[in-house]
Copies of this chain bind each other. A is one copy, B any other.
Amino acid sequence: MATDDPCPVFFLSDSTGITAETLGSTLLSQFPTVEFDRTTIPFILNVDQAQAVVDLIDALVERGQKPIVFSTAVTSDIRRTLGTCTATLIDLLGTYLGELEETLATQASNEPGRAHGLGNAARYQSRMTAVEYAMEHDDGQSLRALEKAQLILVAPSRCGKTPTTMYLALQHGIFAANFPLVDEDFEREGLPKPLRPFVDKCFGLTTNPLRLSQVRTQRREGSPYASLRQCGFELRSAERLYASHGIPFLNSASMSVEEMSAMILQQMNLKR
């Protein structure tokens, strides 16, 4: 193998493959200088399919490559078949289930699809209702049932309110609204009126003027809205508004929605 060939990586599962991808990506992110060629193979449902995957991977090994395989297969015969592959195999359940069975003094169920299936129906339904709530309350569109919000994200346009709200709703079932801050709010130096009874639920976002200007330029090139001057004014004003109302806030410039969401949950003391 030429040393600059990307390293083949496989995420294998008898269910969605989400855990294999998450686990594997976390481990691989510790090797930022290595290039990986990733393939997810979900829903491996029987031994024949598992054997076909093993054959595929073994063929790469025979060609001199060094594939890395992450598996979260649960079903024991599928796990056994995947276990025969000659690549580096990281088998999540194989590694840890025995230890957990011992601690819990209980046998594992060995049924696939439990982690990202419907699971607890009430919890799943509350996530779906939270998505609906977030859609209805995106960008200040609706003031209906604002008292039901667990969180109200506020920020000038294009600071990342919408994707952060969606992530919190979809992953954590948080009832989150989001609300734009506009020049009119800054002139009055006050929160938008509908939010005033809910200042304790408010969380602010800010970003860097240059980055905001870049993002807004993609939407409306050359507009006053996208100008560095206007972006700087709005962000300074928003930060002053947060401070004067005691609203906690984050800078979204160098953070992902996942990081912002985790910090917001922690700072607002919201149960995941």
Binding site for B on A (CB under 8 A): 7, 15-19, 21-23, 25-34, 38, 40, 42-43, 66, 68, 72, 74, 88, 90, 92-93, 95-97, 99-100, 103-104, 106, 108-111, 113-119, 124, 127-128, 131-132, 135, 138, 160, 162-163, 166-167, 170, 254-259, 261-263, 266, 272
Contacts and interface: CB of A to CB of B under 8 A. Distances in A.
Contacts of A259: 15-16, 113, 116-117
B19 A256 contact: no
Contacts of A162: 131-132, 135
Contact of A166 (B23, B27, B131): B131
Contacts of A27: 92-93, 96-97, 100
Contacts of A262: 15-18, 42-43, 116
Contacts of A138: 135
A99 B90 contact: yes
A115 B43 contact: no
A88 B100 CA distance: 8
Given A34-B104, A40-B272, A68-B100, 7 more contacts: A21-B272, A26-B93, A31-B100, A31-B108, A68-B103, A68-B104, A116-B256
